[in-house]
Chains A and B, each alone.
Chain A
Amino acid sequence: MKTFLTIVGLLILSMAHADEGQDLYNKSCVACHTIGKGRLVGPDLINITQQRSQEWLVAFIKSSQTLIKSGDPEAVAIFEEYNRMPMPDNDFTDAQTLAVIEYIKRTSAGTEANGQTADAQDLLSEATDENVSSGALLFTGEKRLTNGGSACNSCHNVQDAQTFSNGTLAKDLTTSWEIMGSAGVAAIIEGPPFPLMTVAYQNHPVTEQEVLDLTAYLRSVSESSGNQAAESYDMAMAIFGIAAFLIIMVFIMIFYPQRKPSRVSA
């Protein structure tokens, strides 16, 4: 009886461990990677445990940029191959990282490699101009996201003369579709792996239709970016800001003559 209970206990423990790996994978990796379904923003991870050592994988998962900056040739090669798209650092413990690796290993075992990009069946194959227009309005916030998330232009810019954007906190998205493809862009909008974006949308998920519209819009921007004039608000902000300051100062100076210049009892 004791042996049976021990085995059951161990099974439950190992299942919990496996679940953690899967949960972490779904939370942090799935937006950019597949296991056996082709490359997305990053490489297909099928059988990655056979191609790289465990130490290397742990180091890369925790901070790919640290490894790249240290000059590791394999890390640098991947970085270059995938359009120098940095993979965000993961704040995993060693045990959590190993759980993710274990999950990838386990899933790989039962999967056949696709060998293509996950984009082979483009989700935008039936997208229309209507999707693009709707995406443009969602990007600027003129059409609110259904679940109340902030508009993309809060942080991002696109070189599109028809659209007001100029957010400069995060990446310029003009060529995002060109770099990541429809599946990559859609995956990032749907389950952002970047911490700032994760926080911004964790309670305000973007709907499937909105993902489609935004991806369609980013594709149209990417395809026409060569024809668009790049606008920058750096100077405009400074000039208009100084103008606003001068208006404030005029108000302040208007009030000054009302003050008595000297003692009151003279």
Chain B
Amino acid sequence: MSDYFFFIGLPYAALVVVIVGTLFRYLNFGFGVSSLSSQFLESRELYYGSRPFHWGIIFLFFGHLVAFLFPAEVLLWNSVPVRLLILEIAAFGFGIAALVGLVILVIRRLKNKRIRVVTSKMDVVVYVVLAVQIITGLWIALFFRWGSSWFASTLTPYMRSIFLFNPDIAAVTNLPLFAKIHIVSAFTLIGLIPCTRFMHFLVYPFRYLWRSPLYVIWNWDRKQIRATRNLYNGVKQKNT
């Protein structure tokens, strides 16, 4: 019974929420869709957390997407042992990068008062789901090898059956517990997209992935502004 809920009900619920929720948010609060950058509040740790996290998560997302869209090609690539090892080790490395980045970002949020103030409950939820997602993924890569191959041959048919509205959960229900948790947290994450800042990658015109990074930096001396006595309403302090 729970299998039907987690591997049929949840995926469809997540897909409905992500489509309807994204449209609703765009149409009603379009200008509120943002990653809510906190780079003004703290920059250095953000760099060391955000970079490995994003590099890791983007590589892994597209890795899974390729295995879903082109399973035969992935199996062909993996037919040479060295290539299989390169793929698995690279994916594992990016997985560690995503986890280390996430840990740095969480620590940054916990220890920095200014960041804590702008942290919402949904941020906490996203952090928890992401942590579960990445840890179970690493666990699978280590102890249930070779994921890139068996994903293509057993999970791709499941995913395809979901999108063709003819769900077949025979394979997925027989996977190890960690793999099941990984799948459930993935769909949970998809469902959370419109409810969180996670939606920022859908900001029109969808250039988040390849545009140059925005570099947010103060353009005046904050210390001088704090110390000045020559400040009154309506006039911004200039640098001397």
Q: Is the CB of B145 within 8 A of A166?
A: yes
CB 8 Å contact bits of B128-148 with A (1 = contact, 0 = none): 000000000000011111110
Q: Is A233 an interface residue (CB 8 A)?
A: yes
Interface size bracket, B side: 35 or more
Alpha-carbon gap, A142 to B141, bound state (A): 22
Interface contact A167-B146, CB-CB below 8 Å? yes
Q: Are A199 and B154 in contact (CB under 8 A)?
A: yes
B142 touching A237, Cβ below 8 Å? yes
Q: Tell me if A56 is interfacial: C-beta within 8 Å of chain B.
A: no
Contacting A at CB under 8 A, from B168-223, are 168, 170-171, 173-176, 215, 217-222
B78 / chain A contacts, CB cutoff of 8 Å = 141, 151, 154
Q: Which residue of A is nearest B43, CB measured?
A: A259
B174's contact among A149, A194, A240, A241, by CB below 8 Å, is which? A194
In the bound complex, CA of A150 to CA of B171 (Å): 15
| Contacting residues, chain A, for B158 (C-beta < 8 A) | 199
- Given the complex of chains A and B, what is the CA–CA distance between A260 and B47 in angstroms? 12
| CB-based contact B75/A141 at 8 Å | yes
A17-25, A110-118, A248-256 - the one binding chain B: A248-256
> In the docked arrangement, what's the CA distance between A102 and B52, Å?
61
Check B93 against A142 for contact (C-beta < 8 Å).
no
Interface size on A, residues (CB 8 A): 49
The answer to whether B93 and A248 touch across the interface, beta carbons within 8 angstroms, is yes
Closest chain B residue, CB of each to CB of A145: B75
**Of all chain A residues, which has the CB nearest B71?**
A150
On whether the beta carbons of B81 and A164 are closer than 8 Å, the reply is yes
**Residues of A contacting B52 in the complex (Cβ-Cβ under 8 angstroms):** 245, 248-249, 252
Does B48 touch A at the CB level, under 8 Å?
Answer: yes
Q: Is the contact region of chain B dominated by helix, strand, or loop, or is it mixed?
A: helix
Q: A240 vs B142: C-alpha distance in the bound complex, in angstroms?
A: 11
In the complex the two chains form, is B217's CB within 8 Å of A263's CB? yes
Give Cα A204 to B52, complex, Å: 39
A9 close to B (CB within 8 Å): no
Would you call B145 and A237 a contact (CB within 8 A)? Answer: yes
Quick one: given A199-B168, A240-B89, A244-B93, are A169 and B215 in contact (CB under 8 Å)?
no
Chain B CB within 8 A of A266 CB = yes
Question: A161 at the A/B interface (Cβ < 8 Å)?
Answer: no
Give the chain B neighbours of A141 by CB distance below 8 A: 75, 78-80, 84, 149
A140 to B55, CA, bound (A): 31
Question: With contacts A241-B95, A244-B90 known, is A149 near B153, CB below 8 A?
Answer: yes
Please report the C-alpha to C-alpha distance between residue A148 and residue B78 in the assembled complex, in whole angstroms: 13
Q: Which of B75, B96, B154, B173 contacts A245 (CB 8 A)?
A: B96
Specify which chain B residues have a CB less than 8 angstroms from the CB of A264 in the assembled complex: 217-219
With a cutoff of 8 Å between Cβ atoms, the chain A residues found around residue B146 in the complex are 153-155, 166-167, 169
Interface membership of B21, Cβ < 8 A? no
Whether the pair A244, B174 counts as a contact (CB closer than 8 A) is: no
Residues of A within 8 A of B14 (CB): none
Shortest Cβ distance from A234 into B: residue: B142
Q: How far is the CA of A91 from the CA of B173 in the complex (A)?
A: 11
For residue A200, which residues in chain B have a CB less than 8 angstroms away from its CB? 150, 153-154, 171
Which residues from 217 to 266 on chain A have a C-beta closer than 8 Å to any C-beta of chain B? 233-234, 237-238, 240-245, 247-249, 252, 255-256, 259-260, 262-266
- The 3 A-B pairs with the shortest beta carbon distances in the complex, nearest first, are A244-B93, A154-B149, A241-B92
* B residues with CB within 8 A of A: 43, 47-48, 51-52, 55-56, 72, 75-76, 78-81, 84-85, 88-90, 92-97, 100, 141-147, 149-150, 152-154, 157-158, 168, 170-171, 173-176, 215, 217-222, 239
Given A141-B79, A155-B146, A263-B222, 15 more A-B residue pairs with CB atoms under 8 Å apart are: A140-B79, A150-B150, A154-B150, A168-B143, A196-B154, A198-B170, A199-B153, A199-B158, A237-B142, A241-B92, A244-B92, A244-B93, A245-B94, A245-B96, A264-B218
Can you spell out 12 A-B residue pairs with CB atoms less than 8 angstroms apart?
Answer: A142-B79, A150-B149, A151-B78, A153-B149, A154-B153, A169-B145, A194-B174, A242-B93, A244-B96, A245-B52, A249-B52, A265-B221
Residues of A participating in the B interface, judged by any CB pair closer than 8 Å: 91, 140-142, 144, 148-151, 153-155, 164, 166-169, 194-196, 198-200, 202-204, 233-234, 237-238, 240-245, 247-249, 252, 255-256, 259-260, 262-266
